[in-house]
C-alpha cells in the first residue's frame, strides 16, 4: 500500500464511520426511527420543526461534526510534528508523516469529504 492509498483508507474510515454515521443518526431522528425513550422525546420535539428549521439544525450538526473532525486531525498532526508522541499507521504507512496536514485532506474536490462521504462537502 502506498502513502496515498493509506491516507485514503484512513479518510474513508473517518468519513464513513464518523461523519456519515453522525449525520445518518440525525436523519433517523428526523424520521422518528429510534425507539429509545430518551430519543423518542427528542424526536417528538423535532416533529414540531418546519422544514427550514430542520435544515438549519442539519447544517449546524454537519458544521459541528466537520469542525470536530478537522480539529481532531489538526491536533493529531500537531502532536506528531511537535511532540513526536503520536503515530497512526495504516498497513505500516505512517499517514501523519505522509500528509502535509491531515486536516487539509478533508477538503477540495478530491478531498475525503468529496470522495468518501455520502453527504459530500457541505456547500454554503
Q: Per the domain annotation, does 72 fall within a domain?
A: yes
Residue 98 Cα distances to 27, 78, 89, 121, angstroms: 35, 14, 10, 23
Q: Per the domain annotation, does 32 fall within a domain?
A: yes
Q: By residue range, what is the domain housing residue 41?
A: 3-114
Q: Per the domain annotation, does 123 fall within a domain?
A: no
Does residue 13 have a pLDDT over 90?
yes
Q: Per the domain annotation, does 99 fall within a domain?
A: yes
Is the Cα dihedral 121, 116, 14, 85 positive or negative? negative
Count of domains in the chain? 1
Q: Per the domain annotation, does 51 fall within a domain?
A: yes
- Closest residue by Cα to residue 25 from 57, 56, 71: 57
Q: Per the domain annotation, does 120 fall within a domain?
A: no
28-74 confidence digits (pLDDT tens): 999 999 999 999 999 999 999 999 999 999 999 999 999 999 999 99
Amino acid at each position: 500500500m502506498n502513502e496515498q492509498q493509506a491516507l485514503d483508507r484512513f479518510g474513508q474510515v473517518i468519513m464513513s464511520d464518523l461523519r456519515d454515521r453522525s449525520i445518518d443518526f440525525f436523519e433517523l431522528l428526523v424520521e422518528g426511527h429510534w425507539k429509545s425513550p430518551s430519543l423518542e422525546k427528542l424526536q417528538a420535539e423535532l416533529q414540531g420543526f418546519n422544514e427550514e428549521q430542520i435544515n438549519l439544525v442539519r447544517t449546524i450538526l454537519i458544521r459541528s461534526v466537520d469542525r470536530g473532525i478537522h480539529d481532531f486531525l489538526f491536533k493529531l498532526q500537531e502532536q506528531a510534528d511537535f511532540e513526536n508522541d503520536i503515530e497512526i499507521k495504516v498497513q505500516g504507512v505512517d499517514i501523519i508523516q505522509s500528509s502535509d496536514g491531515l486536516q487539509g485532506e478533508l477538503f477540495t474536490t478530491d478531498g475525503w469529504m468529496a470522495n468518501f462521504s455520502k453527504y459530500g462537502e457541505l456547500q454554503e
